[in-house]
Structure 1
Amino acid sequence: MANEDLKRLYDGLETATGLLHQALKTSYLDAAIEAGEDFTSGAIHQEDGIPNADTAAKLKAAYASLKREDYSAEELRQALQLLLVKAIQVDGIEPNKQVTPDAMASLATFMVTTFYPQMPARLQVVDPTVGTGNLLFAVMNQLHNATKVAVHGTGIDNDETLLAFAGMSAAMQGVDVELFHQDALDTPLIRDADIVVADLPVGFYPLDERAKAFKTAAQSGHSYAHHLLIEQSLNLLAPGGLGLFYVPSTVFQSAEAQGLTAWLTQAAYFQGLLNLPENFFATKKAQKSLLVLQKPGAQAKQAAQVLLGTFPELSDRQAFGEFIAKVKDWAPQIQA
């Protein structure tokens, strides 16, 4: 679909969100959720006369030239991603809840197809820190488009508003997903996933008693949430399952990394660590890497050589081609 068509979809959703933001006197993100639900249902939701008739008429006009069925799931997600970026700016949403760039979803998808050249008929993909669902849905859409397999998603988050946006987004796209409102470090509601993909929040986990149940917990004080989430994610995977985690590039350099490293050597196959380009991030301190882990069992095996390197800038076609070739040369080490 042409960029003009995608822009028209975004413009319609943005106009509707702006109208609802003013009429409902709520956050821009809440208004975006309402706008998306109206667009998906094909009807303007009114309660106690709000929004009023004039605003309802303007909302209908914003959607008048748009038909949901004219857009693919991925195109709908992209329009909602742009709406999220604006919501983050308007509402001043904290850094841990920012939108994960599409290039990070593409890299995760590429790694899945590298590990599983022969796809099963159905994949279960879990994001334990799903937020608004942008990363999970991008990976699900890309995997389905690339392999034609059925992809079932599961998202977990303790932020009710972000999860509401994810629910609206899933309904609009028509993706097969279950969403759970809970702390991802609480008792898992799912098991035996094929893939876990997560852009992990960075910071300390406040519930010290719950953290003590994990081998990656700090010896004293608060534990790093991303360390605990990596361990919990391995618990969610089936034997041989793949974990793809966006973590701080300094994840193994901190004073607290000793416990994480000790646990990794016992519990997982450490298959790769790929740095993302610095220009993806506002500062070098914010730079992330893709940590690739695999749960032992089934046909999984430890690569003789861990995949290390830097994901090139997409604009550098030569470097990107060399990166793809390097991974393909490496892949036979981990393929059954």
Structure 2
Amino acid sequence: MFNYCEKELRFLTEKQVERFFDILNQSSELIQKERDQSYLDSLIETLTAVQDQDTSDLDLTADSMKKLGRIYSEFNRDDYDSETLRKGIQLAILKAIKVDDIQANYQITPDTIANVIGYIISGIFRGTDSISLLDPAMGTGNLLTALYNQLSNTLALTPTVSGVENDDAMFELAADSFEIQHIRAELFHEDAIQNVLAPMVDVAVSDLPIGYYPIDENAKGFATHSEKGHSYVHHLLIEFAMNHVKKDGFGIFLVPSQLFQTDEAKQLLKWMQGKIYLQGLLNLPSELFSNAAAQKAILILQNEGGHAKQADPVMLGEFPSFKDQKAFAKFLTEIDAWEEKDLK
């Protein structure tokens, strides 16, 4: 009986996600066609208009305004929980990426990976009465909102969240997503490498952009900057993030699996010495990536101080296929045991 109800509930939730996505999609397509603009820009306008139930700022024909009014009348915020709204927005952003052929840095962290990160954080902070998060490169805010919703349920508390994003369109999408989900957050529309006055937090978490940071002058103040040429942006963001983590707080990042196997890694490791414990590096299943060079891992760092100590052993390994539920569950059990016995 329980399984039947669980399946029924999942079906209803999926229908609600589709329903909300359909509202966003109909509106975005209508605005896109009449304005002859990108789907992404149309989605940003849609997210504001659907929340306000107001088409007056869209500057469309009277006929289009009427159509949008009918579309928006189908949306009642109280009919949806935050996670359903997040997934609907996620689908709309995925469509924008496809329709507009958007560059790779708009890609969204898959929910399976976000769930694993949330699982790790939940285990570390189980029993706590508060937790604060910072994403120094939040993009569209999907990872941060996914974690907020997950941690609210697993830890039975309201996380405090902050995010930094420099890209105009991604910041607007993130801000709208937080607002429609009724998640209070401190958001900074700035370049983190220019030393944003972000708060100190318990956990820094991010699906880090990979590549070179173009403005060498901005990178000079970072210990992880390259002595010659451009610096790796993911190195700089790790340093920025850990500088905004409290004593014995954590940094959990999606990074290239080969992070410590490049020439530039020497500078990163030198900066970590005496400041930060490398607690874990868990490769994600290789099947998720087109080739070995593209493979990513979950990096677990911890600031020294407080009750922090070097985990022994460091958690190293590779997740089994997410499709192999038995092996995947066994690996999560091993993470649980490591967090309890070796990390804490």
Q: Is the shorter-chain TM-score for this pair beyond 0.5, marking a shared fold?
A: yes
Alpha-carbon distance in structure 2 between the residues aligned to 1:5 and 1:60: 20
Residues 123-166 of structure 1: CA deviation (Å, up to 9, x unaligned): 21111001110011101111011112111211101111110011
Structure 2 partner of 1:16: 27
Alpha-carbon distance in structure 2 between the residues aligned to 1:159 and 1:11: 26
Q: Say whether 1:72 aligns with 2:65.
A: no
Structure 2 partner of 1:297: 305
Structure 1 partner of 2:53: 42
Task: Report if aligned partners of 2:312, 2:343 keep a CA contact under 8 Å in 1.
Answer: no
The alpha-carbon deviation at position 26 of structure 1 amounts to 2.4
Structure 1 partner of 2:15: 4
The unaligned stretches of length 5 or more in structure 2 are 1-8
Task: Report if aligned partners of 2:310, 2:343 keep a CA contact under 8 Å in 1.
Answer: no
Structure 1 partner of 2:321: 313
Task: Report if aligned partners of 1:116, 1:335 keep a CA contact under 8 Å in 2.
Answer: no
Aligned residues: 333
Task: Report if aligned partners of 2:126, 2:155 keep a CA contact under 8 Å in 1.
Answer: no
Equivalent residues in 2 for 1:325-336 (5 A)? Answer: 325-333=333-341, 336=344
The alpha-carbon deviation at position 335 of structure 1 amounts to 5.1
In structure 2, relative to structure 1, the CA distance for the partners of 1:105 and 1:245 (3 Å cut) is same
If the length of structure 1 is used for normalisation, what is the TM-score?
0.95
Give the superposed CA RMSD: 1.5
Q: Say whether 1:284 aligns with 2:298.
A: no
Task: Report if aligned partners of 1:188, 1:236 keep a CA contact under 8 Å in 2.
Answer: no
In structure 2, relative to structure 1, the CA distance for the partners of 1:60 and 1:312 (3 Å cut) is farther
Residues 232-275 of structure 1: CA deviation (Å, up to 9, x unaligned): 11101011111011011111111211111222233211110011
The alpha-carbon deviation at position 218 of structure 1 amounts to 1.2
Other structure's SS at 2:178 match: helix
Alpha-carbon distance in structure 2 between the residues aligned to 1:32 and 1:313: 34
Identity, % of aligned positions: 38
In structure 2, relative to structure 1, the CA distance for the partners of 1:212 and 1:145 (3 Å cut) is same
Letter of the 1:227 partner, please give it.
Answer: H
Alpha-carbon distance in structure 1 between the residues aligned to 2:34 and 2:320: 45
Structure 2 partner of 1:59: 68
Q: Pick the structure with more helix per residue.
A: 2
Alpha-carbon distance in structure 1 between the residues aligned to 2:290 and 2:62: 43
If the length of structure 2 is used for normalisation, what is the TM-score?
0.93
Q: Say whether 1:185 aligns with 2:193.
A: yes
Alpha-carbon distance in structure 2 between the residues aligned to 1:69 and 1:43: 17
